[in-house]
Amino acid sequence: MVDFPPRRKPSRKGSMADVPKDLLDQIKELERLFSVDQAKLKEVTKHFVKELEKGLSVEGGSIPMNPTWVMGYPDGYETGTFLALDMGGTNLRVCEIILPEEKGEFEIIQSKYRMPDELKAGDSEELWEYIADCLQQFIEYHHEVEDLEQMDSKLPLGFTFSFPATQDYIDHGVLQRWTKGFDISGVEGKDVAQLFGAALEKRKLPVRLSALINDTTGTLIASHYTDATMQIGCIFGTGCNAAYMENCGSVPKIAHYKLPPDMPIAINCEYGAFDNELVVLPRTPFDVIIDNDSPRPGQQAFEKMIAGLYLGELFRLVLVDLHDNKCGLFDGQDISKLRRAYSLDASFLSFIEEDPFENLSETGELFAKELSLNASKPELELCRRLAELIGTRAARLSACGVAAICKKKNIESCHVGADGSVFNKYPHFKARGAQALREILDWSEGKRDPVSIRAAEDGSGVGAALIAALTTKRVKAGNLAGIKNTEGMI
């Protein structure tokens, strides 16, 4: 993320009055390319519902709709000490969560470790060795034991592995494909729980993997733990995803387990893969470039249009195109820094959208500092409008996934727990998403929104610990559906 000093107080809003016609024409064309109207939102949502259903079928579809083997919500009376490991797109986080006897309460201590870029394109052994090393450092520091093998019992751990995985059991998961810019060899098609377990065993760490979860599933469970009206968990960050609670009888692909049809099971949608067939998504030529140049062309079509990993790159590609082929943006200047792929992230756009000055002075300083470009006021106005268009499109399309789950489950009123850097930090994302929901679901003006997207609890930390606790609780109750290894859990 770009680091800048505190902001000065705003003066007044800017205007397009001094933007020359050629730039105004380009702005109008960008508005045509990136705007998503109500009719398109409804069209996307209608197709989204069909794809969610298809993903639950025996045949499957582009959206994996992975059963998680999290069989219901916590009741608030789970107790004990649990570890949580969160492997996301940027950092590795290790947490220890204590669930006391007080209902709905928790205590947490945590440490973060940077995921080195070279690790994201390395091999399997390097990945698991690094994770096990971080976990060992955490336990040694917080438990003050010289010999880890002498600890009285193994600590149950919930592992938040935020990548698409097929789970036949809650303590097992076969990686379907890497996302979020990862491309580590030797992991796809393998059980990541087994690979991680081998690294733990090699170091003789006093840890037992109780549950392998996705951050979105954790968000759903942690949010419901503190707010029982939460029925959907979402992530809008480096990637995008949602999870919700389905009935086993509505999931044909697990019918062979012969589970009670009304038994709840959390579904990890992995809907970043929505519309890989490109039936309804309103892609621009710049979206096509991002897909073609990505490690996995043809995959994660929806994610590549709305996720934080790609917003800055979309912005960069448009500016380069305007310089090279259209209106001579930044004419006569060296744009070599701007030509570096993925040199801009979503925080760059956030900063532009938050510039409070009429002359866009802070945006001008940003371009000078980060890109060595001296942008004119009209050029800055175009950049500001482009940032707004990209950010608005992301928020509006994001609402389609939430609306589709509501329509599929006939949810008329609920809270949606959302997490992720884009949701939490990108300006106006929440308001733009809420407006899109109103347009899709045809809510009356002036009334409180029946479905409200709110900040989630810590899904990848507290959520993982809660799911580890729920799994232990299920084993003790004799409900072993979807649990592979019960050794040491009773």
Active site annotation includes 123: no
Residues 6 or more apart whose Cβ sits within 8 Å of residue 376: none
Closest CA to 294 of 274, 316, 281, 309: 309
Of 177, 208, 316, 384, the catalytic one is 177
What's the angle, vertex CA 309, arms to CA 213 and CA 462, rounded to 5?
30
Please say if 114 is a catalytic residue: no
Catalytic residue status for 86: no
Amino acid at 291: D
The β-bridge relationship of strands 80-87 and 155-161 is: parallel
Per-residue DSSP letter, 250: G
62, 86, 93, 162: which is the annotated catalytic residue?
A: 162
The whole-angstrom separation of Cα 145 and Cα 149 is 9
CA distance 213 to 358: 47
Give dist(CA 222, CA 218) in Å, integer.
Answer: 6
What strands lie across the sheet with 207-213, from one edge to the other? 107-114, 91-99, 80-87, 155-161, 207-213
Contact between 389 and 31 (Cβ < 8 Å)? yes
How far apart, in whole angstroms, are the C-alpha atoms of residue 240 and residue 302? 8
Q: Which of 86, 171, 191, 215 is catalytic?
A: 215
Q: Where are the beta strands (DSSP E) in 153-239?
A: 155-161, 165-166, 174-175, 207-213, 230-236
To 10 degrees, what angle do helices 377-409 and 38-56 make?
50
**91 DSSP β-pair partners:** 114
Cα 196 to Cα 158: distance, rounded to the nearest angstrom: 12
Residues tagged active-site: 162, 177, 215
